[in-house]
Amino acid sequence: MERLDETLVSSWYNDRSSVPSLYIQPPECRPGNLVAASGKIIPVVDLGGQDRDEIVKHVLKASEEYGFFQVVNHGVSKDLMEETVNIYKEFHGMSGKEKVEECSKDPKGRCKLYTSSQIGNSEAIKYWKDSLTHPCPPNGDFINYWPKKPTKYSDVVGKYTRELRNLGRKILELLCEGLGLKPGYFNGDLSENPEILVHHYPPCPDPSLTLGMAKHRDATLITILLQEQHVEGLQVLKDGQWIGVEPIPNAFVVNIGLILQMISNGRLIGAEHRVVTNSSTSRTSVAYFIYPSNESIIEPAKVLTNGSIQPTYRSMTCAEFRGNFFNIGPNYEDELHS
């Protein structure tokens, strides 16, 4: 059985002149020539504007029509964003053995390094990526299991995740206003279980044959993504076409997760998206996933199902939702409806 440090894509991609067969997608899933829909961009929202009603309107419209938008003037410093990307690039630049050692301390396995996909069996088609994930504040107990290398990891990532928690609350409050929910609806149990997920996509010898990540929806309330500047890869499916999400300087990409789609009774879109690779440079992305607590009940908000509007989704705990989503995969979405 191969050791994890040997299976990391970053450990062996330099020695390959072609894509290994297990990483070649079936023809119907391949990105092909990688040309996404031209002339289309996802919305950009300026959170620093003076007219709050306009900001709410733009956030809601983007969430209803695209399920994705980028935010600028969001309050997180440019320096901290750059430090965070750099600390993860430094982490993924370490030897495979070091990375595995730094991510093998958590007895519950929530702080971990892995490669390809967590879903499916060992014979499934693999994806061109290595990934690091762990809980973050307010789950303070897990900080002891965070990587100690690079040496500034805990300081930088700790500060970054605290800032992202504030930004997440700000965005969720705007969505509360737009949906007509009571202020603070998403505070507490519905947003208290955040995780960080960092994907590293090394250069690929033939990006037309493989994917960094397959088409999927996020199993989150919302996701806030920090993209590496000048390196594209994220694509969003809109009206049957793939739209490339061009990195904007000092911006975050925000997308609606399937949990929020359920709470909004289908009004907001948990849009499908994927990641393509490139042949010239690596790409690192940092996703901040906002999840409810495991005990939280996920169901359409009562205020959105009054009168003639019936609940579209059945009620379940977040633990049930996440367990089935990650074990069954995208086909589980069909079972969510009431």
Residue with tokens 């379940």: 316
For residue 308, name the pLDDT band (cuts at 50, 70, 90). Answer: confident
Strand partners, 283: 201
Q: How confident is the model at residue 336, as a pLDDT?
A: 84
- Does position 37 have pLDDT exceeding 60, yes or no? no
Instruction: State percent of the chain over pLDDT 70.
Output: 94
237-257 mean pLDDT: 93
Nearest to 207 by CA among 145, 103, 303, 128: 128
Residue 114: Cβ within 10 Å count: 16
Report the alpha-carbon distance of residue 274 to residue 157 in Å, rounded: 25
220-240 mean pLDDT: 94
171: burial class by Cβ within 10 Å (0-12, 13-18, 19+)?
A: buried
This prediction has a pTM of 0.95
The per-residue pLDDT for range 65-82, each reduced to its tens digit, is 999 999 999 999 999 999
Calculate helix-pair angle for 52-65, 153-179, nearest 10 degrees. Answer: 90
Look up residue 318 and give its DSSP letter: H
Buried b (16+ CB within 10 A) or exposed e, 41-58: ebbebebeeeeeeebbeb
- Does position 117 have pLDDT exceeding 60, yes or no? no
Which CATH number among 3.40.50.720, 3.40.50.300, 3.40.50.1220, 2.60.120.330 corresponds to the domain 4-13+28-294? 2.60.120.330
What sections of 180-290 are H helices per DSSP?
258-263
The per-residue pLDDT for range 189-203, each reduced to its tens digit, is 999 999 999 999 999
Q: How confident is the model at residue 119, as a pLDDT?
A: 46
Q: What SS3 state is found at 132?
A: strand
Q: How confident is the model at residue 334, as a pLDDT?
A: 74
The per-residue pLDDT for range 284-301, each reduced to its tens digit, is 999 999 999 999 999 999
Q: How confident is the model at residue 9, as a pLDDT?
A: 95
Residue with tokens 């290398």: 149
Domain map (residue ranges) of the chain = 4-13+28-294
The per-residue pLDDT for range 254-285, each reduced to its tens digit, is 999 999 999 999 999 999 999 999 999 999 99
Q: What SS3 state is found at 253?
A: strand
36-44 mean pLDDT: 75
Q: How confident is the model at residue 307, as a pLDDT?
A: 77
- What mean pLDDT, rounded, does the chain reach? 92
Q: How confident is the model at residue 160, as a pLDDT?
A: 98
For residue 118, name the pLDDT band (cuts at 50, 70, 90). Answer: very low
Q: How confident is the model at residue 263, as a pLDDT?
A: 97
- Does position 333 have pLDDT exceeding 80, yes or no? no
Residue type, 256: I
174-197 mean pLDDT: 96
